[in-house]
Chains A and B, each alone.
Chain A
Amino acid sequence: MATEALKLDNVKKNFAGTEIIRGLNLSVTKNERHAVIGPNGAGKSTAYNLITGRYQVSSGRVFLNGEDITNLEPYEVKRKGLSRSFQITNIFPKMSVFENVRCSLLWAMGYKYSFWKMVGNQTALNEDAEKIIEELNLKDRRNTLAGVLSYAEQRALEIGITIAGGSEVILLDEPTAGMSVSETEYIVGLIRKVTEGKTLLVVEHDMGVVFDLADRISVLVYGEIIATGTPTEVKENQAVQEAYLGAAMEEH
């Protein structure tokens, strides 16, 4: 139990009577890199939204490090140490790269709703923000408004916002979607670097990235996990071949 960073226990979700997630069981071991794959519309993003409190689950439980986090508000989930990125870039467009990162650090560093401390004077906060920007390779874009960054840079910032504050469990939603080969390499390298020693759950369509990055893979089809295992096991699984992987692998 203790080694399970994230556990979904028979989670279900109905939208207007239609069952989108039909009993999801998933367990992510501490410090592993776990990928979720599956065809479009399988419910991968919905599963993320259920875990992080963006949607309310219809039934079932979600556990973070053994603690029940079912139906908590997104900010409560984040405070418990789970952080996520989004499939569609979700940053603070009218703020500089630096401010984006610094804001993402505030709660984790204990500032809460303080209106009596000046952020400019908080040495540790500012140093941490600079460090993350350096890790993201965005140093020369430090003062640029996030909204005018290139797509790949925005995706990098998206990951930066997600990992800032040192959450133990990181959920990434299609981090390399829409990227060129070299951009994908940059992002995968970045993910590897910043999730060192953390638990990573990643939804990804690029099978090259998935098999390269993941320790274990779960296959989600029509709201259910049909298989979980190491990349080799999943590749050889007959059900997976039929449902998804055959078609997906041919593309590559």
Chain B
Amino acid sequence: MQKSVFSSALPWIFAAAILIVLPFIFTGGGSITIMNQIGITIVLAMSYNMLLGQGGMLSFGHAVYMGIGGFVAVHVMNIVENEYLWLPLPFLPLVGGLVGLGFATIVGSFSTRKAGTVFAMISLGIGELIAACCIIITVFFGGEEGISGDRTMAPSTFGIEFISQKEVYFLIAFWVLLSIFVMYLFTQTPVGKMANAVRDNPERAEFVGYSQRWVRYVSFCGAGFFAGVAGALFAINYEILTEQNLNTVMSFQVLLATYIGGVGFFLGPVFGAVLFTILQTVIGLQTDLWALYTGIVFVLMVMFLPTGLTGLFAMHLIPLQLGRLGMLIKPYAKIFVPGLAFVVGSIALIELINHVRHHGEEQFMTLFWIEFDTTSFLPWALFLIMLGVGFYVSRVFAKEVAEAWGEATFVEGERR
């Protein structure tokens, strides 16, 4: 039954290797910045999933724990700079984590009494409250400009001063891996298992001897800790924290990222954080409508793929195990072209309308690396046709996909 130490350590070694190699593949300063942002979002989304996916607690205010951890981290950074305290930078996330934990200990003591609507509403209220405090209590939060610091003034760690983005990348990568590892261990503990049980059926959990409130409380504090770690990583990476890091918008972004990745899977939020950050940064550079696209992706996910990206991968394990993945290739290939036409047509039309509405004075616009005249009839007609025909043909082919899917996953006499 027991797996050998080596085989259970293998995925972690593999993950560490990937994290080490990544900055040598994506060498650009821009890509390192994005990877740092992804790392921070991963820790935050994973901690959020301790609540939502594993504990069944829907929080609308998770950014608060990240924000408070981050603000304290910046203050500590400044204290270290003034040499009142000796603390090498790599330990700063621990400080952020403890602050997040401390704040979660207080809020959790009353918010985890019930799950569901009561918990969600309290989290929303606390989120709004702290966001309001941010503007009011300027001594701590710095008002609208926020609080900034300088990470390079900390005592050097083995000669590393964390001046370059790449050095910060390795610090973040280390904490990402450590956080995921500890969060994974947590899922394997008695209270981690009971978190799932309380999520599934809180009442029954009480009848096997556990107080649902205490089980939630433990998860909640753990989630607060790792949100605080993410906050300190944010503080290290950006050297500034403002109200935007802990307001409701931020909390909803965490929810979005986690959900897109898949709340039902331990590593789901990792994929969600990657996709979400890429949507936010890469697409954010191309268009100012990135939030719209993120919103559309989210709605489509909730409607058609509630198990998230990871769920989509996991679905395909069944035909893979049955050796029938090949049956799906042809229908997938068939739907790809009209599907792509539909997506490209829709995006182009949205961008075109946006361009005419907001930059109407510029006659030409560039889209998908092609420059064209917005006043001519041709692009409009082309995009409309792509959208319409793409949609219609996709719907026809979608039936074939559904049929092929049914065939590929059908097992005689077994219910799924």
Contacts and interface: CB of A to CB of B under 8 A. Distances in A.
A119 B193 contact: yes
B197 interface: yes
B165 to A, nearest CB: 35
B207 interface: yes
A114 interface: yes
B401 interface: no
Interface of A is mostly: loop
B196 A92 contact: yes
Contacts of A52: 207
Nearest to A118: B188
Contacts of A233: none
Contacts of B25: none
Contacts of A126: 1
Nearest to A108: B209
A83 B1 CA distance: 30
Given A95-B197, A113-B191, A164 B185 contact: no
Given A93-B201, A115-B222, A79 B209 contact: yes
B185 A103 contact: no
Contact of A161 (B208, B214, B415): B208
A75 B211 contact: yes
A91 B207 CA distance: 11
B189 interface: yes
B194 interface: yes
Nearest to B211: A75
A207 to B, nearest CB: 27
A94 interface: yes
Interface residues of A, number: 39
A54 B203 CA distance: 9
A206 to B, nearest CB: 24
How many interface residues does chain B have, given as a range? 20 to 34
B206 A78 contact: yes
B189 A91 contact: no
B211 to A, nearest CB: 5
Task: Determine chain B's interface SS by DSSP, over half rule.
Answer: helix
A66 to B, nearest CB: 21
Contacts of A231: none
A252 interface: no
Contacts of B211: 73, 75
B205 to A, nearest CB: 8
Contact of B194 (A79, A106, A108, A148): A106
A75 B190 contact: no
Contacts of A83: 207-208
B200 A94 contact: yes
A141 to B, nearest CB: 12
A75 to B, nearest CB: 5
Given A75-B209, A75-B210, A103-B197, A111 B190 contact: yes
Nearest to A53: B206
Given A75-B207, A92-B201, A93-B200, A106 B193 contact: yes
Interface string A163-180: 011000000000000000
A78 B207 contact: yes
A128 interface: no
A52 B208 CA distance: 11
B416 to A, nearest CB: 7
Interface in A75-89: 75, 78-79, 83-84, 86
Given A52-B207, A92-B197, A148-B416, A113 B192 contact: no
B186 interface: yes
A122 to B, nearest CB: 8
Interface string B205-242: 11111110011001000100000000000000000000
A22 to B, nearest CB: 26
B190 A74 contact: no
Given A90-B201, A113-B214, A118-B189, A74 B194 contact: no
A143 B67 CA distance: 40
A114 B207 contact: no
A78 B209 CA distance: 5
Interface in B103-158: none
Interface of A: 52, 54, 73-75, 78-79, 83-84, 86, 90-95, 99, 102-104, 106-108, 111-121, 126, 148, 161, 164-165
11 contacts: A75-B206, A78-B207, A78-B209, A91-B201, A92-B196, A99-B193, A99-B197, A106-B193, A114-B191, A115-B191, A164-B208
Q: Which 6 A-B pairs have the closest CB atoms?
A: A107-B209, A111-B190, A92-B200, A74-B206, A78-B209, A104-B208
Interface of B: 1-2, 185-186, 188-194, 196-197, 199-201, 203-211, 214-215, 218, 222, 264, 415-416
